[in-house]
Amino acid sequence: MLPFAVEEFLRYEAPLQLLARTAARDGEVGGVPIAKGARLLVGWAAANRDPAVFPDPAAIDADRPGNRHLAFGVGLHRCLGSNVACSTIRITLEEVLRRLPDFQLVGEVERYPDAALIYSPLALPATFTPGSPG
């Protein structure tokens, strides 16, 4: 279940929240004209909360089928390190849960107040029984 949970966690709290882009041609987004060369700030992570794509997007659902989140981008702009990142997250969670099987979140994640484009937690309130090393 953990590999699916990792994908859901990435959907829910994408590490990259915004992307800057330059319009390659004239176009329109949501009825707003966009001129070629215009600078855009795209709320990339918002796509992961689109209710047309993700039923009940505000809920974490580790069993979410076909989780095609955009946490690492898509197409030619997909992060080259995304597979390594997913493996690192999964292995880290496996080891934390192995050593701290009663680990539980007990509050809201405290976030850095001005991290701009990056999701930057400062504190993760949790309880657990300390485990022995190894």
- Cβ–Cβ < 8 Å for 23, 83: no
Residue 92 in any domain: the answer is yes
Q: Is residue 87 part of a domain?
A: yes
Query: pLDDT in tens for each of the 134 residues of the chain?
Result: 888 999 999 999 888 888 888 999 999 988 999 999 999 988 878 999 999 999 999 999 988 888 899 998 888 888 899 999 999 999 999 998 898 999 998 988 888 777 666 777 888 899 998 766 65
Strand ranges for the chain from DSSP E: 19-22, 27-29, 32-34, 39-42, 104-105, 110-111, 121-123, 126-127
Task: Give the pLDDT of residue 131.
Answer: 66
Residue 99 domain-assigned (yes or no): yes
pLDDT of residue 31: 94
Domain membership of residue 120 (yes or no) is: no
DSSP 39-98: EEEE-GGGGGG-TTTSSSTTS--TT-TT----TT--GGGS-TTHHHHHHHHHHHHHHHHH
pLDDT by residue (tens digit) across 41-76?
Answer: 888 789 999 999 999 999 999 888 888 999 988 888
Q: Is residue 17 within 8 Å of residue 45, measured between CB atoms? A: yes
Domains in the chain, number: 1
* Residue 11: per-residue pLDDT: 94
Residues paired with 123 in a beta bridge: 110
pLDDT reported for residue 36: 98
Q: What are phi and psi of 72, to 5 degrees?
A: -115, 15
Sign of torsion, CA 100 10 82 53? positive
**Residue 133 within any structural domain of the chain:** no
> Is the residue at 131 inside a domain?
no
Task: Supply the pLDDT for residue 127.
Answer: 93
